[in-house]
Amino acid sequence: METRRALVTGAASGIGAACVHRLAADGVQVVAVDHDAAALGELAAGGIETITADLTDLDSLQDLPTDIDILVNSAGVQQVAPVEQFPPERFGYLLRLMLESPFRLIRQTLPHMYGRGWGRIVNISSVHGLRGSPFKAAYVAAKHGLEGLSKVVALEGAPHGVTSNCVNPAYVRTPLVTAQLADQALVHGLTEAEVLDKVLLEPVAVKRLIEPEEVAELVALLCGPASASLTGSSLVLDGGWTAH
């Protein structure tokens, strides 16, 4: 893995940061990309190459490195609102960040991967890439779209040694989920503790938040020696949510 170079988006915190550390532990040369320059500074202090970028500025993505062997699309945000009240500009923002941006990054890194005859694309999807939930129109739409994109890339990339997969966690202990507690409390008229128990964890058999490091372990699996025939898949880490 020491010969591989990875680009991880949403790398400053949560799942993205866990993926940076996990891949680096395997010897991968990691480029960490995020809009939060201050948080990236902590990774840079640890010797990780960092780039500050706004992934919703789609035309600027061409300035990011393309000599990438492993691409981890992890950046994401959430917006909680009923469809009839959902701000259209935020709907577009979420789709740019979580669907159009991964498409652009995949598109511009595939030629390098094809040239080397090896590549790994890992899209951090969600249980919401497989299931719907009220009040999350943009997030669910983006993740469902990401699932489809990932499968198309898997089919096209297979003859070139490139795999493409999704990782589908339920709620992970990240700043994104923490912020949801307050938003959902307002929507449902509950306390944040009640939101965690009665909304977020209600469909989950294993009643706990997932740790970012658990997601990163699946990412490492998808990039490791057993991954050559693992493509077009969605690896579900949802505590039994989709078992219903």
* Alpha helix positions (H), the chain: 14-25, 37-45, 88-95, 101-116, 137-157, 175-188, 192-195, 212-223
Catalytic sites, residue numbers: 139
Place of tokens 């669907």: 99
The angle formed by the CA atoms of residues 73, 10 and 46, to the nearest 5 degrees, is 115
Tokens, residue 12: 């400053």
* Alpha helix positions (H), 26-136: 37-45, 88-95, 101-116
Nearest CA-CA partner of 101 in 142, 137, 55: 55
Distance CA 8, CA 11 (A): 6
CA 24 to chain centre: 17
> Using a CB cutoff of 8 Å and minimum separation of 24, what contacts does 194-202 make?
200/171, 201/171
Tokens, residue 212: 């970012």
